[in-house]
Every structure is written in C-alpha cells, then in structure tokens.
Chains A and B, each alone.
Chain A
Amino acid sequence: DADVTQTPRNRITKTGKRIMLECSQTKGHDRMYWYRQDPGLGLQLIYYSFDVKDINKGEISDGYSVSRQAQAKFSLSLESAIPNQTALYFCATSAGPLEGYTFGSGTRLTVV
C-alpha cells in the first residue's frame, strides 16, 4: 500500500460544484501539504498543516479550504469549482524541517 494515498485519482466536475479531494498517510508524519501543479508553473502550495489544530494558507489558497480530520488525514475542498482550477493536485507529507516530502500519486481534476 502507498504511504500517501489520494482519492480520487481522476475527477471531472462542472463549474460551480463543490468537490473534495482526500489524502491519507501511513507515514506517521505531522506535516501535510496540498500543492497544485500546472504546466509551466511548477508546484504551488495551497495549504499546509503541522498538526490537527494547525492550518496555514499557502501561496494560492483563494477558492480552496482544507480540513485536518486526524494526523493521518488532510482533505482539500473546492467550494465552487471554476475552470482555472483544472490541474494536477498533490498531497505531500514531511517528518519535519530538513526532511523531504513524500508525495501522493496525485489527483487530476478537470473543471468543465
């Protein structure tokens, strides 16, 4: 089983719909992140959390919200999806500073 699991793997949704992307991990890491990846723009940080009670906005948090339900679970919601949120979304975990990320397999989201 993967250390970091994202669901769904692929999703097509309509403009205006609410959608949730889920991430769970078995690494036991406290730090969890949501990134989006667009062609030519690299990975951009949406939100991050260092424990269940700690939620922080990243570079591009507008239009997104998150929930850290447990140490192992970190979900990302698009309240009202719009086409420019079409992207590849990655969840990542880390044990702490000076530790690299472990990435999930990604969720490819298309908003039509």
Chain B
Amino acid sequence: EDKVVQSPLSLVVHEGDTVTLNCSYEVTNFRSLLWYKQEKKAPTFLFMLTSSGIEKKSGRLSSILDKKELFSILNITATQTGDSAVYLCAVDQNTGNQFYFGTGTSLTVIP
C-alpha cells in the first residue's frame, strides 16, 4: 500500500500566486519527513521535519508537520517561474533504513 501520498498531482499557477502542496503518510514509528525540489534532474533538499521540529521556513517557502493527522504541507508564497519543479515528499521510520517517496506534485508557474 502507498505509504506516502501527495496531492495534487499537478498544479498550474500564475506568478505571484500562493500554492499549498500536500503530503499524507502512513508509516509506523515515524521519524522524519523531508521535502525535495526536483527541477531537471537531481532532487535538492528543502526541509526536514521531525517530532522536535514541526515547522520550517526559508524565504517564501514554509512547511508544517501534523503528526496527529499524519500530513505535511509545503507553502510557497509569491510564486516565481523558478519555482516550477516537481516537489517530492519522503518519510522514514525509526525502525527502517530508507525513505519512502511520494510520486510528487508537478508545479508550473506561468509568467
């Protein structure tokens, strides 16, 4: 079964809009949740959220983790064309040795 589900699958917005990307997960012994941005090739790290760090912010990007409801959101305010990418969410477990990835949300920002 899917451990990590991201929504929406794709999104098209205009520059300046605010977007919210969702990631819900279902793993036992949750340890951390990560957000990555994937442009043309390699995913690049954005945020890590854990029990001790449930809210992160960097410039126009911010993310929160709701451990009770088992989801995270990634917010991007005042979007720019350079924000166009696939955004990946991944979670891992205390008892595991890998991250489980969602299928990603494809964001396109139109000028």
Task: Give residues in A with beta carbon < 8 Å to B.
Answer: 4, 33, 35, 40-45, 48, 50, 56, 58, 88, 90, 97-98, 100-106
Contacts and interface: CB of A to CB of B under 8 A. Distances in A.
7 contacts: A42-B104, A44-B101, A90-B42, A98-B31, A101-B43, A102-B45, A103-B43
Contacts of B90: 43
A41 B103 contact: yes
Interface of B: 4, 31-32, 34, 36, 41-45, 48, 50, 88, 90, 92, 97-99, 101-104
Contacts, number: 48
Contact of A48 (B34, B36, B97, B102): B97
Do most interface residues of chain B lie in helix, strand or loop, or is the interface mixed?
strand
Nearest to A98: B32
B58 to A, nearest CB: 14
Contact of B48 (A41, A90, A98): A98
A103 B92 CA distance: 17
A56 to B, nearest CB: 7
Contact of A58 (B45, B48, B98, B102): B98
B12 to A, nearest CB: 18
> Top 8 nearest A-B pairs by Cβ distance?
A43-B101, A103-B42, A42-B103, A42-B101, A100-B45, A106-B41, A105-B41, A105-B42
A33 B103 contact: no
A27 to B, nearest CB: 13
A43 B36 CA distance: 12
A102 to B, nearest CB: 8
Nearest to A40: B103
B99 A101 contact: yes
A43 B34 CA distance: 13
A103 B101 CA distance: 14
Contacts of B103: 40-42
B42 A106 contact: yes
Contacts of A48: 97-98
